[in-house]
Amino acid sequence: MKQNTKEIRRPNSTILKSVTKPGRYAGGEYGQILKDKKTVKARFAFCFPDTYEIGMSNLGVRLLYGALNQHPDIWCERVYDPWVDMQEQMKLHNLPLVALESGDPLECFDFVAFTLQYEMSYTNVLNMLDLAHIPLRTKDRQEDDPLIIGGGPCSFNPEPVADFFDLFNIGEGENLLPSIVELYIRMKDEGRYTRAEFLHEAARTIPGVYVPSLYTVTYHADGTVEAYTPVYDDIPRTVQKQIVRDLDQVYFPDRVVMPYIETVHDRIMLEVYRGCIRGCRFCQAGMIYRPVREKTPDVLNEQAKCLFDSTGYEEMSLTSLSISDYTQLEGLCDKLLAWTDENMVSLSLPSLRVDNFSRELMDRIASVRSSSLTFAPEAGTQRLRDVINKNVREEEVLRSMKVAFDAGKTAVKLYFMEGLPTETLDDIEGIAKLAERVVESYYENPNRPRGKHVTVTVSVSCFIPKPFTAFQWEPQDTMEMLREKQEYLKSKITNRHVRYVHHDAKVSLVEAVLARGDRRLSDALELGCREGFRFDAWDEYFDYDRWMDVFRRTGIDPAFYAYRHWGLDEVLPWDIIDCGVTKEFFLRERARAYAEKTTPNCREQCSGCGANKLGGERAVCPHVNPYPPEKPTVLPRKMIPDRQEIMAQWEKADPFLTMRIKFRKVGSLQYISHLDLQRTLARVLMRANIPMWYTQGFNPHAKVTFGLPLSVGTESECEYLDLRLDRKIPPAEVMARLNRELTEEMAVLDAYEPTSKFQDIGWASYEMVLRFAGADGTVAESMQALFTTSPLMMTKKGKAGEREIDIVPLIRSVKVSSPAAGEIRVSAKLSAGGDAYLNPEFLITA
């Protein structure tokens, strides 16, 4: 590990104020874990190769961040891919990529780990290494460079990026990653660490560790893989996926980092089980996460309460690959709804199968209270649904539509795929016919919402044959074939109530190459990185022609990986990995697909996929070998008392009590918007168990009144908000409770009740210091005259657009002075109420 002798930290204020969403880079969030870097024995940078908003929403990152940091000798920090404008600033100012917690460059860490969630993020991984000044390839790294680890679903075919990673953890990381770091610490303590010896020892002694440099790859003359050969006899010929056998006992984070800016999934995510019973033949996730292992409702309920206590989120989502297949769903919902409703927490489900969809469930769960619902038939005809083992019949789809329309829904989204094996134009036309039948079922329904029309959105993606599926040997349709099918479907959709959208076939081709590639792709990926490829998962940055040019220049034929039939006896690039499901099972499923035969789900009948050898508590397969429960690594902290019991200790206010709060907004908090500040404080109030007064109606919300919004990048030691409370709680208690849930950068400085009726926050005082060459008393006098002479016109942006206003009536008082050469001090009291407010930045701009 290199020492950070330059003490390089995160970008300064000037840079942060010049980029979009500077809150992405400021750090300092409530719940972040800080340690003394001089006392820990290993530093671990956990990198998500996309933006902060996406990475902070990832459940795996939340779990592994906490699992590593529970070890006193390990400090895990977070790193996200900077957006394009920040990357340009970093290169302009020669700033390296740094971790959010410490602000230290990644090259100062022992480990730099990437979660590989999507093949199109591979260029982001390389770009982040480049920004961190870390050599891209394993062979170019020195003894004191960080060890680069890969994991996540894409690591089940690690070969396209194998030359860039020192090692991969294959499978679930809660126990595996700490084992890797503990080995590193032990070898360091024993004085026998070298980079090469550590990698050999990890591959030899830790199941689930794959070290690509310890395996040689040979190829046949036709370009197919001949063999993977271990360099040492004492490392495994194939690397077996590792799982957590008992999810009830595995590490659970009782505290998570609370982002200050809005993220993609701004909610509690409660993982109820892992794996999938369904066996869809196109689905990689359903195979690599087997076997199914469930958490018990009691454990989930306690974990949910704990997460609510520590986050204050107003929404909770139950997550899994197919939530409606959880055997205890109804009982779990009963337990959760017993306390979520009274605590103003909405409960949502991410997806529902049409064969498990009921009116009772829909009425109870918040996610289906919106006007639209989403289902995934995947194919337009029953024949093709049988081929892919979807096991959903058209009558079940229409029954679910009736349930939705009976409940007042007016919009439905249906997901399909094009390019599936054995697909014909009849199957494509079947998509249009099914959408038409859904529209007809709406207007034939006597219980439909009166006076409202229906919208059916047909969303069609391009099939990509992924590793570890029954279709892993199949060719992808060429772009020409996919485009013809897209145009054909478009011509068949004639109903004005059906909206058709489809994915870009160009992106799907590149994704297929990266998903099924081997080590020979490394040259193309490196060249793409050198030429500025980044955020290829984003439409605005994906450039198909540049990808094809890079493939051509590095000798890669995309058709070899995407368009050919792979031999059933061929060595596959991902054969080095054992995901638990056997190749024999995939071959049987492929044969059943071409015979148009379905396979029952795991709960109905064990199909002998092989995943049972991995074990697992509360699994659905009757052949799973029993394992003793693992000892819990961390027990959830003691749960808070019931919220209603807390509220009962204070006398009821009638009708409500108003309390004014004075707080600061400094440091990293200056880089969040006013809307983000409102979201943050709403969750703080919930965590602190402040007895808020709620509005009445279908969507009750706490009544909070803020003062003037500050511009992003502006600090303040004197911000105000008014709370309406339904209990007579002492101001000192409110202040103490809030400060327990806040960092020093947003500390509450005062809380008090009105001596008479509060007026709305109408005026705010500001102290502003300007430093520039030539600033003196004469300039101060000129500014004083300018601010007090009407009219002083400014352009102000509002909801209705831009308008010219005179800002002098919005200035109650102003004093401009020059206490020192080169410095101007402005003391002003400005309007802060309603629409007639004056941002202090406007005053300076004038």
Give mean pLDDT, residues 629-641.
42
pLDDT for 639 beyond 90: no
Packed helices 173-189 and 195-205: angle between N→C axes, nearest 10 degrees = 140
Least confident among 287-291, 423-427, 602-606, 654-658: 654-658
Q: What are phi and psi of 816, to 5 degrees?
A: -115, 130
pLDDT for 20 beyond 60: yes
Q: pLDDT tens-digit profile of 720-736? A: 999 999 888 999 999 99
Q: What are phi and psi of 678, to 5 degrees?
A: -60, -45
Pairing of strands 498-502, 455-462: parallel
Amino acid at 787: F
pLDDT, greater one: 373 or 525: 525
Does CATH place domain 36-171+173-240 in 1.10.287?
Answer: no
pLDDT for 755 beyond 50: yes
Q: How far is Cα 345 from Cα 395, in angstroms, rounded to an integer?
A: 35
Residue spans of the domains in the chain: they are 36-171+173-240, 268-614, 643-752, 763-845
CA 503 to centroid of chain Cα atoms: 21
pLDDT band at 759 (very low <50, low <70, confident <90, very high): low
Predicted pLDDT at 350: 72
SS3 state of residue 521: helix
For residue 293, the cross-strand partners are 274
Q: Output the DSSP codes for 434-461.
A: HHHHHHHHHHT-TTSPTT---EEEEEEE
Q: pLDDT tens-digit profile of 273-284? A: 999 999 999 999
Q: What is the mean pLDDT of the chain?
A: 90
Predicted pLDDT at 800: 65
pLDDT for 462 beyond 60: yes
Predicted pLDDT at 368: 45
Kindly give, in sequence order, each residue whose CB lies less than 8 Å from that of residue 356, ignoring residues fewer than 6 positions away. 324, 325
Tokens matching residue 26:
């400021």
Predicted pLDDT at 638: 40
Predicted pLDDT at 626: 42
Q: pLDDT tens-digit profile of 218-236? A: 999 999 999 999 999 999 9
In degrees, rounded to 5, the angle at the alpha carbon of residue 803 between the alpha carbons of residues 799 and 807 is 110
Predicted pLDDT at 786: 84
Pairing of strands 111-115, 147-151: parallel
pLDDT for 420 beyond 80: yes
Q: Which fold has domain 268-614?
A: pyruvate-formate lyase- activating enzyme (3.80.30)
pLDDT for 836 beyond 70: no
Predicted pLDDT at 540: 95
Predicted pLDDT at 446: 92
Q: How far is Cα 611 from Cα 600, in angstroms, rounded to an integer?
A: 16
Amino acid at 366: A
Element containing residue 59 per DSSP (H, E): helix 59-69
Q: pLDDT tens-digit profile of 559-594? A: 999 999 999 999 999 999 999 999 999 999 999 999
Predicted pLDDT at 733: 94
CB atoms within 10 A of CB 789: 9
Predicted pLDDT at 655: 76
Q: How far is Cα 168 from Cα 20, in angstroms, rounded to an integer?
A: 34
**Percent of the chain scoring above 90 in pLDDT:** 70
Predicted pLDDT at 628: 43
What is the assigned CATH class of domain 643-752?
alpha beta
pLDDT band at 381 (very low <50, low <70, confident <90, very high): very high
Q: For residue 329, which of 294, 359, 303 has the smallest C-alpha distance?
A: 294
Predicted pLDDT at 96: 96
pLDDT band at 428 (very low <50, low <70, confident <90, very high): very high
Q: How far is Cα 604 from Cα 583, in angstroms, rounded to an integer?
A: 22
Q: pLDDT tens-digit profile of 299-322? A: 999 999 999 999 999 999 999 998
Q: Is the fold of 36-171+173-240 the same as that of 268-614?
A: no
pLDDT for 6 beyond 60: no
pTM of model > 0.85: yes
Are residues 458 and 417 in contact, defined by beta-carbon separation less than 8 angstroms? no
Residue 741 burial (CB < 10 Å; 0-12/13-18/19+)? buried
Predicted pLDDT at 507: 97
